[in-house]
Amino acid sequence: MSDKVMIVTGGSRGIGAATAKLAAVRGYVVCVNYLSNRTAADGVVEEITAAGGRALAVAADVSQEPDVMELFATVDGRLGRLSALVNNAGILERQSRVDEIDGDRLQRVLAANVVGPFLCCREAVRRMSTRHGGRGGAIVNVSSAAARLGSPGEYVDYAASKGAVDTLTIGLSREVAAEGVRVNGVRPGYIHTDIHASGGEPGRVERLRTSLPMQRGGQPHEVAQAILWLLSAEASYVTGSFIDAAGGK
């Protein structure tokens, strides 16, 4: 069993997949969690394995408590003692104004983007914290520049969910700072992934790129680098902090 064991929620595609692959290069055994796209998750695992790493794909809906319990129990049994968690899974829905959003959508977005990270943080702390007999660890919550900008006319519900993720990061980081657990956040800007298609505009990053100081969207691996740094020993005195990986916006 390795002493570097990581769960990446939503590790099958986009930023999560880039994070899982980079983590394997850095010596982590990686649990690639996914919701339903088994082919994509298996593809990430195969790529890691082909490069000499070790990974396991595990399906779980992070918004559902029984799924989260099973996900962490599977990692306990198959991979070993958890040392790192990346709360990356997240969703957004069709671009809308607040006066068009119905209650079911609010429940879905907040369940996936807020309840999910809370449940996963809880399970991680139960395993990592010295208060619970653990050996410490690190958590990175993937938020969004939307938490600062609010996403008017697109998805204020999503932006608000990321505001909650930032508050979770600050509060939990202080709660467990003396227990060997660091908790930080990364706020990506416009990154080339599938998520923009869920909003109804697959070409959104290209449309908006000239509004960015760097004049280009980001690549998933550029966010993964920030996540891996925050999890590493190089960030040993960093907790409750955020890296904005947003091209200057």
Binding residues (CB under 6 A) for ligand NAP: these are 9-10, 12-16, 33-37, 40, 61-63, 88-91, 112, 116, 142, 144, 188, 190-191, 193-195
Q: Where are the beta strands (DSSP E) in the chain?
A: 5-8, 29-34, 55-59, 84-87, 137-142, 181-188, 242-245
Among residues 40 and 79, whose Cβ is nearest to ligand NAP? Answer: 40
Rounded to whole angstroms, the maximal C-alpha distance in the chain is 52
Residue 248 half-sphere exposure, CB side, CA atoms within 13 Å? 9
User: Residue 237 catalytic?
Assistant: no
Nearer to ligand NAP, 16 or 137 (CB): 16
Minimum distance between the CB of residue 9 and ligand NAP, rounded to whole angstroms? 5
**Owner of token pair 């129990």:** 73
d(CA 182, CA 180): 7
Amino acid (1-letter code) at residue 177: A
In the complex, minimum distance from the CB of residue 134 to ligand NAP, in angstroms, rounded to a whole number: 24
248: alpha, beta or left? (left if phi > 0; alpha if psi -120 to 50): left
Beta pairing class for 5-8 and 84-87: parallel
CA distance 246 to 29: 28
The token duo for 11 is 């590790």
Return the number of the residue (61 or 123) whose C-beta is nearest ligand NAP: 61
CB of 130 to ligand NAP, least distance (A): 29
Among candidate residues 34, 155, 158, 190, the one labeled active-site is: 158
5-8 β-sheet, strand order: 55-59, 29-34, 5-8, 84-87, 137-142, 181-188, 242-245
Of the pair 125, 145, the CB lying nearest ligand NAP is at 145
Distance of closest approach, residue 189 Cβ to ligand NAP, in angstroms:
6
Q: Least distance (Å) from ligand NAP to the CB of residue 179? A: 26
Nearer to ligand NAP, 36 or 130 (CB): 36
* Contact indicator for 32, 11 with CB cutoff of 8 Å: yes
- Residues acting as catalytic residues: 158
